[in-house]
C-alpha cells in the first residue's frame, strides 16, 4: 500500500502517518454538543472522519475510533430550561437524533462513544494534577481556571501569540480571572443548574477539559490522530493541548487534522449566525432511499481542507452524478472479488487517498472507471468500481432499488398500462402515462425486446 501522509495542523505540513503502536491507530474526533439537531456543516465534519476511519482500515490499520458526546454544556442547560425539561432528557433525545442522522449518511458507528457526564471523576483528577503543577487556580467565585501564561508554548497549534490575543471573540472577560485569556476547568454550581460534588465545591466541568480527559481515558496518550472542524483549532484544541501536556501527557497528540467549513452563499454556515439548514431539513426534501448517500457524496467530493459551498443546485448535481454511477452498476452486474491494487486505476485511487485523503482525485478515478464500465460492459471493471466505492461508503445499495428510490406511485402498474396502450396503438394514452410518471419524478427507459426499466429523477 502507498505510504499514508496527513496534513498536520501542528506542523503545517504533510507528514507520514506513523501510529505510536505499529499496526494500530487511535482516532479521536470531537463529537456533537447535543442541544439541537446537527446542521449540514456539522455533518461534513463527521462524514469526513468516517471517511478517514474507513481509509485507515483499508490500508490495514487496526483502528479504534472514538467520537465523544458532550452531554453537559451551557447550551444544553439553556435549551433544556427554555423547554422546561431536565437537561438529561434533552441530551438523550438529541443524542438519539444525532445517531439517526449519522445512519442516514451511512456513517459507521464509532468504536467508542464516551459521554462527558460519565467522565467527571477523570476530569477532576486532571484538574487536581494541573493545580498541583501550578497551572490551575481557584478563583474567588468558586471557579477553577487554567493559567494560560504559565504554560510554555500556548498557541503552538493555532500559531497565536499571547501578547497579540485579546479578550473578546471567543474568550470571556471575567473579573475572577487572573488573566482574560485563562479558561474555566471547573464552574461552580449555580441555582437551577446540574452539578457534581468535588473538592472544589459543587459544580460542573468546563468544556475543554472534557475532551482531554475522555481522549486519555479511551485511547491513552499520545493520541495518534485527533480531528475536528477548523473552528475548534482555537481555543478548544489549543486548550486541550495545554491541559493535557500541562498534566504530563506529552505529546498529547501526534497528528492534528482539521476539516474546512461548509459555506452557505460563500459565508460560513453556523447556528450562531442563523444561516444553516439542519441535516434533517435537507434529507426531508430528498428521496428516502437516495438522500443520505447523495448528501454524503456531496460532502466528500471536495477535499476536506477546502471550503465548499452549499446550494440546492450543488446538492442536486451531486445526486445526478451518483445516479450515473448506479446506472452503470445496474447495466453491468459487478464481479465479486477483492480489490486488485495492481490495477492502474486502483493504484491511482490508492495513491490519491493516501495523499492526505485527496478525494477529488479519487473521485476522478471513479468517474474514469465508470466510463470503462459503460464502454466495455466488463463485470470485473464494475466489481472494481463497487469495491473502491465501498472504501468511501458508496455504491453498496442494490442499483435497481437505488435508482427506483422510495416511490409511492405503483410504477409497475403504470408501465403495464402503458405497454397495453402501445399494443392497442393508443399512443396518445401511452405518451400521457410517460408524462404522468415524469411529473412524479420517474424516468422510463425503453430497452430492446420491449422491456422498460425505470428510475427516479
Rounded Cα gap, residues 426 and 455, in angstroms:
24
Q: Which helix (H) or strand (E) holds 318?
A: helix 312-331
Are residues 88 and 169 both part of a single domain? Answer: yes
The number of angstroms, rounded, from the C-alpha of 22 to the middle of its chain's C-alpha atoms is 26
**What share of the chain in percent tops pLDDT 90?**
81
Distances (CA, A) of 392 to 56, 317, 350, 423: 11, 19, 12, 46
Q: 151, 143, 175: which is closest to 235 by C-alpha?
A: 151
Same domain, 241 and 187: yes
Of the pLDDT bands very low, low, confident and very high (cuts 50, 70, 90), residue 166 is low
User: With 50 as the cut, is the pLDDT of residue 390 above it?
Assistant: yes
Residues at the binding site are 30, 211, 236, 240, 271
Closest CA to 403 of 344, 350, 330, 349: 330
For the annotated binding site for ATP, the residues are 271
Spatial separation of the C-alpha atoms in residues 329 and 181, rounded to whole Å: 56
Q: Which of 402, 424, 441 is the last residue of a domain?
A: 402
Q: How far apart are CA 54 and CA 56, in angstroms?
A: 6
Domain boundary among 262, 280, 303: 262
Whether residues 397 and 419 share a domain: the answer is no
Give the distance from CA 70 to its chain's centroid: 16
Ranges of H-type helices in 204-358 = 207-219, 238-246, 279-284, 291-300, 312-331, 344-353
Q: In angstroms, how far is the first alpha carbon of the chain from the final one?
A: 39
CA distance 148 to 67: 27
Per-chain mean pLDDT for the chain: 92
Query: Which residues are annotated binding-site positions for Zn(2+)?
Result: 30, 211, 236, 240
Q: With contact defined as beta carbons under 8 Å apart, do 215 and 247 qualify?
A: no
pLDDT band (50, 70, 90) for residue 426 = confident
- pLDDT at residue 270, rounded to an integer: 65
User: Within a domain: residue 297?
Assistant: no
- Is a pLDDT exceeding 80 seen at residue 367? yes
Q: What is the pLDDT of residue 456?
A: 66
**Residues 389, 424: one domain?**
no
What percent of the chain lies above the pLDDT cut of 70?
Answer: 93
- Mean pLDDT, range 450-456, rounded to an integer: 77
Q: Are 54 and 393 in contact (CB under 8 A)?
A: yes
Question: 438522500: which residue's cell?
Answer: 291
Residue 387 in domain: yes
Q: Per-residue pLDDT for 294 more than 50? A: yes
The pLDDT of residue 143:
97
Domain range for 416 is: 407-456
Number of domains in the chain: 3
Q: What mean pLDDT do residues 290-307 have?
A: 97
A 10 A CB-CB count for 430 gives 18
Domain assignment of residue 81, yes or no = yes
Residue 44 CB-density burial (10 A; 0-12 exposed, 13-18 middle, 19+ buried): buried
Amino acid 447: pLDDT: 81
Q: What would the mean pLDDT of 56-64 be, rounded to a whole number?
A: 98
Amino acid at each position: 500500500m502507498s505510504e499514508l501522509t496527513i496534513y498536520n495542523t501542528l506542523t503545517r505540513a504533510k507528514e507520514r502517518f506513523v501510529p505510536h503502536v505499529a499496526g494500530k491507530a487511535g482516532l479521536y474526533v470531537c463529537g456533537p454538543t447535543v442541544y439541537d439537531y446537527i446542521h449540514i456543516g456539522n455533518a461534513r465534519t463527521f462524514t469526513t472522519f468516517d471517511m478517514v476511519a474507513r481509509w485507515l482500515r483499508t490500508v490495514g490499520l487496526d483502528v479504534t475510533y472514538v467520537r465523544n458526546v458532550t452531554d453537559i454544556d451551557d447550551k444544553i442547560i439553556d435549551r433544556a430550561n427554555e423547554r422546561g425539561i431536565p437537561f438529561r432528557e434533552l441530551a438523550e433525545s438529541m443524542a438519539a437524533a444525532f445517531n439517526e442522522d449519522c445512519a442516514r449518511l451511512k456513517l459507521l458507528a464509532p468504536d467508542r462513544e464516551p459521554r462527558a457526564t460519565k467522565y467527571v471523576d477523570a476530569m477532576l483528577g486532571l484538574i487536581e494534577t494541573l493545580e498541583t503543577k501550578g497551572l490551575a487556580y481557584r478563583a474567588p467565585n468558586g471557579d477553577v481556571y487554567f493559567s494560560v501564561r504559565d504554560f510554555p508554548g500556548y498557541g503552538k497549534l493555532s500559531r497565536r501569540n499571547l501578547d497579540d490575543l485579546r479578550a473578546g471573540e471567543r474568550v470571556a472577560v471575567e473579573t475572577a480571572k487572573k488573566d482574560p485569556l485563562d479558561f474555566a476547568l471547573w464552574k461552580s454550581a449555580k441555582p437551577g443548574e446540574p452539578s457534581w460534588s468535588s473538592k472544589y465545591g459543587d459544580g460542573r466541568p468546563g468544556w475543554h477539559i472534557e475532551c482531554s480527559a475522555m481522549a486519555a481515558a479511551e485511547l491513552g496518550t499520545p493520541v495518534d490522530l485527533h480531528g475536528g472542524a477548523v473552528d475548534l483549532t482555537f481555543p478548544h484544541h489549543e486548550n486541550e493541548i495545554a491541559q493535557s501536556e500541562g498534566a504530563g501527557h506529552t505529546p498529547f497528540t501526534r497528528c492534528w487534522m482539521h476539516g474546512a467549513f461548509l459555506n452557505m452563499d460563500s459565508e460560513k454556515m453556523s447556528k450562531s449566525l442563523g444561516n444553516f439548514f439542519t441535516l434533517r431539513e435537507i434529507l426531508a426534501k430528498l428521496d428516502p432511499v437516495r438522500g443520505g448517500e447523495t448528501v454524503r457524496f456531496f460532502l466528500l467530493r471536495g477535499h476536506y481542507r477546502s471550503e465548499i459551498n452549499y446550494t440546492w443546485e450543488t446538492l442536486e448535481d451531486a445526486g445526478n452524478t451518483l445516479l450515473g454511477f448506479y446506472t452503470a452498476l445496474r447495466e453491468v452486474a459487478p464481479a465479486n472479488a477483492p480489490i486488485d491494487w495492481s490495477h492502474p486505476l486502483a493504484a491511482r485511487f490508492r495513491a490519491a487517498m493516501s495523499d492526505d485523503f485527496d478525494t477529488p482525485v479519487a473521485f476522478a478515478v471513479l468517474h474514469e472507471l465508470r466510463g470503462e464500465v459503460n464502454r466495455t460492459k466488463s463485470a470485473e471493471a464494475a466489481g472494481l468500481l463497487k469495491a473502491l466505492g465501498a472504501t468511501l461508503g458508496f455504491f453498496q445499495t442494490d442499483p435497481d432499488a437505488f435508482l427506483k428510490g422510495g416511490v409511492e406511485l405503483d410504477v409497475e402498474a403504470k408501465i403495464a398500462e402503458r405497454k397495453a396502450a402501445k399494443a392497442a396503438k393508443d399512443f396518445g394514452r401511452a405518451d400521457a402515462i410517460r408524462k404522468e410518471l415524469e411529473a412524479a419524478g420517474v424516468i422510463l427507459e425503453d430497452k430492446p425486446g420491449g422491456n422498460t426499466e425505470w428510475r427516479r429523477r
